[in-house]
Structure 1
Amino acid sequence: MLKILIFAVRLLRRILAQFLGCVAYYLIPIRKKDMLKNIALSFPEKSKKEVDFITKNVYKTFIEVRIDMFFISNMPDVGDEEKDIYIINFYNKRLE
């Protein structure tokens, strides 16, 4: 039962991140023009639609990592002991 609950929470966080990533792409276009230009220069064979898709996924991934870091920092067991804490985040996702 606990595994199902953990999976459901992770799924909800991912859905929230996807939504907020889309919102950020359209409402908070920080460096979006530069990103579109750089991706188009790096991948000249990609169409404008593909470059746009990659850029949207960059925003979604950024928001997803930030949400995960927020939840990790709010874990009740973290920091209770007098030991060092190392958080390593490996993120491997194809954006094609």
Structure 2
Amino acid sequence: MSESLPLPPKTEGRGPTLSTIHEVEQILRDAEGPLSLNEIKRRMSAKAVRHRTVRQVIDEFKRLGFVAEGSKGVIWTLNLSPELWTKGRVVRL
């Protein structure tokens, strides 16, 4: 049996907008290293973004395997390099 992604959790109220999700993605992709949630909020164009909204976006990215979160913050981990995906094997770094 193949392994599949877990279903997304039920959200109370409204979830993050698509533009918020895209903005958080761009901030994480452009970052040189891990960012705290407060730093992500600081870099966003909308200054009234709630902590819960940023947390929901990060949790969804974690569920999909796009980011990793540790004690120093969140970092984008999805690698779209064609060389990685066309070789058909794992490359040791």
**Structure 1 or 2: larger strand share?**
2
Task: Give TM-score scaled by structure 2 length.
Answer: 0.32
Greater RCO, CA 8 A, separation 6+: 1
- Look at both structures and tell me which one has the larger radius of gyration over its CA atoms: 1
Task: Give TM-score scaled by structure 1 length.
Answer: 0.31
